Amino acid sequence: MKTAISVPEEIYARAERAARKLGLNRSQFYSAAAERLAAEVESADVTAAIDAVVDAANADSSMPFAITAGTRLDDDPDSQW
């Protein structure tokens, strides 16, 4: 697919140098850059979802009790846990 984009001159020059250094043509370079940024955005979405689950778990008021109870069981030499 063909597309036209406007890029500030400094970024264009930098992208051209980087593409040459990597042995890529302009289309390959911009495609790789777009793919990388899209993956970063998607990864941030996953991270945000994981953070929300962790926050919800931390909001559970039984968590400190469970940690204390588990630690006591672990420290008890007679415990089968």
pLDDT one digit per residue (tens) for the chain, 81 residues: 888 999 999 999 999 999 999 999 999 999 999 999 999 888 878 887 887 888 777 776 666 777 777 777 666 666 665
User: What's the rounded Cα separation, in Å, for the pair 25 and 19?
Assistant: 6
User: What's the rounded Cα separation, in Å, for the pair 64 and 42?
Assistant: 33
**Structure pTM?**
0.56
**Segments making up each domain of the chain, as ranges:** 9-75
> Per-residue DSSP letters for 23-71?
T--HHHHHHHHHHHHHHHHHHHHHHHHHHHHHHHHHT-TTHHHHHHHHH
